[in-house]
Amino acid sequence: MEVAEINSIKAYKKIIIYYFSGTGNAKNVALWFSQVASENGIESQIHNIAQIDRRSIDQPEPGALIVFVSPIHGFNYPPIMLNFLLHFPKGKNKVVLMNTRAGMLIGKFITPGLTGIAFYLAALILFIKGFSIKAILPVDMPSNWISLHPGLNKRTVIYLHQRNKVRVETFARKVLNGKWHFKALIEAYDLLLAPIALGYYVAGRFILAKTFYASSDCNNCDLCIKVCPVKAIVKIDDRPYWTFNCESCMKCMSNCPKKAIETGHGYVAAFVFLFSTIILVAFYKLFDLYFFPIENSIIRMAAESALSIGFIAIWYRLIHWLLGFKSFERIIVYTSLTKYKWWGRRYKALKEQEFRN
């Protein structure tokens, strides 16, 4: 970097970064941004929102730049970050919004993830509180969603880290120079994802919370319980049990030393089949018989969401009990794609020395 450019980075005396991260991508982005600030003599504070009292944040000191970094879950910021923003004190500071999304690689082309409504919603909340948004940046880090797709290979993971680090550093220098950055607004088609983001928020995330289980490889070390940022895992019948609090951040799965945490594709498929062919059909038959046909699509969506959440709660409790029987446990394990080598590579963001050129 040119000496003149270093000297010109003087727009802020202090930055305060708040991040949430499941598998480490958002944490890396927060650290990369912070390093640029520190290298340029700007005081930098960095807070993991899973480890602080999220309801009693001090009003940010005037003039400090506030930076929020979080992964995207279901085309939105995850509930922990949204709640944090909702409870964040008012202020007039300048703000930077960043997210990490599901990046993948085709040849040398990084396929972008989808931010959905995250920036728009967060910007609205912060704008109402008096803040002014100065810059936004989506960062296409390696996708960690191995419940949905096979885990990425090492070459892809390393390449995405190398490329994104440079991108974040360039962005940080620009922002710390006092410039604004809103290129991501080109992706305005993201707004079309609003209905899916809503569906994920009201029902999808609760179903996903029940897709995790611990196989018989679990040795009850309780590490998953300790690392969970929202304390969503409890013990039932002496085995880990995922509650509706789970944010599906994948941290437990990527940290289990026995690789015992799986996504139960088999029992989830059985749930979808039973729910759509029996439960839903029976519900509408009985409801129409004793009450009145539900014509309104919003009421139908609310009823179906409530019903699916209720049914998955019962279904998951049953599966948890069946896991106590060896033969059932094997069926559940062998119908979980994450059990197989070609799919279930666990993902954890890399440390600097693991991807340096």
Ligand X SMILES: Cc1cc2nc3c(=O)[nH]c(=O)nc-3n(C[C@H](O)[C@H](O)[C@H](O)COP(=O)(O)O)c2cc1C
Total residues binding ligand X (CB under 6 A): 26
Q: Which of 347, 273, 335 is nearest to 308 (CA)?
A: 273
The contact mask relative to ligand X for 155-184 (x = CB under 6 A, - = no) is ------------------------------
Q: Choose one: 22-30, 35-43, 224-232, 268-276; the region binding ligand X (CB under 6 A).
A: 22-30
| 84 vs 101: CA distance, rounded Å | 19
Q: Which residue(s) pair with 236 in the sheet?
A: 239
C-alpha torsion sign, points 324, 330, 335, 340:
positive
Is residue 83 packed enough to be buried (19+ CB in 10 Å), middle (13-18) or exposed (0-12)? middle
Q: Choose one: 70-78, 217-225, 237-245, 286-294; the region binding ligand X (CB under 6 A).
A: 70-78
Amino acid code (one letter) for 221: C
Is residue 119 packed enough to be buried (19+ CB in 10 Å), middle (13-18) or exposed (0-12)? buried
Touching ligand SF4, residues 260-299 (CB under 6 A): 260-261
Q: Which is nearer to ligand SF4, 132 or 219 (CB)?
A: 219
22 is an interface residue for ligand SF4 by CB under 6 A = yes
24 is an interface residue for ligand X by CB under 6 A = yes
| 215 vs 240: CA distance, rounded Å | 10
Which of 110, 139, 224, 350 contacts ligand SF4 by CB under 6 A?
224
Q: Choose one: 9-17, 66-74, 267-275, 288-296; the region binding ligand X (CB under 6 A).
A: 66-74
Helices (H), ranges, 108-153: 118-128
Minimum gap (Å) between residue 113 Cβ and ligand SF4: 18
- How many Cβ atoms are within 10 Å of 249's Cβ, its own excluded? 24
C-alpha torsion sign, points 184, 189, 192, 196:
negative
Q: Choose one: 150-158, 228-236, 285-293, 306-314; the region binding ligand SF4 (CB under 6 A).
A: 228-236
Q: Which is nearer to ligand X, 9 or 140 (CB)?
A: 140
- Going by C-beta distance under 8 Å and a sequence separation of 6 or more, which residues neighbour residue 76? 82, 116, 117, 118, 121, 197, 200, 201
Minimum gap (Å) between residue 64 Cβ and ligand X: 23
Residue 175 interacts with, from ligand SF4, ligand X, none (CB under 5-8 Å by kind): none
Q: Which is nearer to ligand SF4, 152 or 252 (CB)?
A: 252
| 77 vs 197: CA distance, rounded Å | 10
Which of 16, 168, 249, 349 contacts ligand SF4 by CB under 6 A?
249
- How many Cβ atoms are within 10 Å of 59's Cβ, its own excluded? 10
Q: Which is nearer to ligand X, 11 or 309 (CB)?
A: 309
71 is an interface residue for ligand X by CB under 6 A = yes
Terminus-to-terminus CA distance in the chain, angstroms?
A: 18
- Going by C-beta distance under 8 Å and a sequence separation of 6 or more, which residues neighbour residue 325? none
Q: What residues make contact with ligand SF4 under the rule CB under 6 A?
A: 22, 214, 218-224, 228, 230, 232-233, 240, 242, 246-252, 256, 258, 260-261
- Residues lying near ligand X in the complex (CB under 6 A) are found at 21-26, 71-75, 100-102, 113-114, 116, 141, 143-145, 208, 248-250, 349
